[in-house]
Amino acid sequence: MGKRTLVCEMDAKGALAAAFDVTALQFEPTEVAPGLHAMEMNTEDSLREYLRLFVRIPFVGRIGPLARTFDFVADAAPGVKEILAVGKLCYEVRERHYDLVVVDAEASGHIVAQIGAPTAIRQLVQVGLVRDQTNWMIDVLDDPARTGLVIVTTPEEMPVTETLELVQRVRADTGVDIAAVFANRVLPALFSERERDVFERASTGPARELLVERIGKAVGTVLDASALVEARRRVGAGHLDRLRAELADRPGPAGPVPLVIVPELFTRATGRRVVTLMAQAIEDELV
């Protein structure tokens, strides 16, 4: 039997369905490729499943008034909604229904509350079934052999700053291991060191005037565009150097957090084609 992977989108924006060129995903996983299943998180369906599995209450159709009562309680108590979402995923890991569970989490402002929900609930509830449930969830989340958080950023000042702040918050407020930081949309170098010197001489002064005279005005546009891309790349490289240095200065229990570079794809492709290209780029970087 081949390996099975589950991919879950937490914010239900439809990006995952678009990535795999399928119709809208539901709480029940859909096989989008051989061995690859995808789902969207839904709090009401997660509550229904929790009650069926652990409280042994069967439900047919929508849970209506109970869901509204749950919403009222969830708004008053921190971590209630979050624990249903993260609990569903921890359950899939514990029961080994899939060999790998990949979660497209919400933005950085929400992720700490989600993965810290079991701890928050355990502090509120001292005994009983709910506390027992949080114990095994924490065991799953805090085990670096089973759970790792991957932070995705871009080579810009604000995203890099937010990434470093998130690393600090995750370590301070949760026991989840940070497996890696992915820097996405990194511009490649257009020139080698020697080629860069030649380009800088050719793009200014008499050399530029001669090129425009011999080739045409369009060459000036090409030179200006190349200079702009190279300038952006240099600025981005500086932000990545800062990120790499600060990650090295803040090692986790297993050492410095790896920084994985994912290049800008420069493609008009969408859907599965982009997923394939991105997967290949990541594989090339990791190998």
CATH number at residue 13: 3.40.50.300
Q: What is the pLDDT of residue 270?
A: 84
**How far is residue 117's CA from residue 104's CA, in Å, rounded to a whole number?**
17
Q: Is residue 30 part of a domain?
A: yes
Q: Virtual CA dihedral for 271, 273, 274, 280, nearest 10 degrees?
A: 150
Does residue 82 share a domain with residue 217? no
Q: Is residue 35 part of a domain?
A: yes
User: In 3-state terms, what secondary structure has residue 20?
Assistant: coil
Does residue 8 share a domain with residue 109? yes
Q: What is the pLDDT of residue 78?
A: 54
Residue where one domain finishes, among candidates 147, 170, 205: 147
Does residue 128 share a domain with residue 21? yes
**Do residues 21 and 272 touch, judged by C-beta distance below 8 A?**
yes
Q: Is residue 55 part of a domain?
A: yes
Q: What tokens were used for 126? A: 């001292």
Please state the pTM of the whole predicted model: 0.85
Residue where one domain finishes, among candidates 147, 178, 197: 147
Q: Is residue 180 part of a domain?
A: no
Q: What is the pLDDT of residue 58?
A: 59
Note down the domain range covering 249.
187-287
Q: What is the pLDDT of residue 72?
A: 44
Does residue 205 share a domain with residue 115? no
**How far is residue 59's CA from residue 243's CA, in Å, rounded to a whole number?**
49
Tally of domains within the chain: 2
Residue where one domain finishes, among candidates 120, 147, 174: 147
Does residue 128 share a domain with residue 45? yes
Does residue 265 share a domain with residue 137? no
Q: Is residue 138 part of a domain?
A: yes
Q: What is the pLDDT of residue 50?
A: 75
Does residue 253 share a domain with residue 202? yes
Does residue 197 share a domain with residue 127? no
**How far is residue 111's CA from residue 82's CA, in Å, rounded to a whole number?**
9
| Closest to 230 in 3D by CA, of 198, 252, 205 | 198
Q: Virtual CA dihedral for 281, 247, 11, 131, nearest 10 degrees?
A: 130
Does residue 26 share a domain with residue 140? yes
Those residues whose C-beta lies under 8 Å from the C-beta of residue 80, and which sit 6 or more positions away, are 70, 73, 74, 117, 121
Q: Is residue 168 part of a domain?
A: no
Q: Is residue 133 part of a domain?
A: yes
Does residue 46 share a domain with residue 133? yes
**How far is residue 71's CA from residue 83's CA, in Å, rounded to a whole number?**
13
Residue pLDDT tens, the chain, 287 long: 578 999 999 988 899 999 999 999 999 999 999 999 999 998 778 877 877 776 665 554 555 555 555 554 445 455 667 888 898 999 999 999 999 999 999 877 789 988 998 888 887 776 666 677 788 999 999 999 999 999 999 999 999 999 999 999 999 999 999 999 999 999 988 888 889 888 988 888 999 999 998 999 899 999 999 999 999 999 999 999 999 999 999 888 878 999 999 999 888 888 999 999 999 999 998 87
Does residue 143 share a domain with residue 19? yes
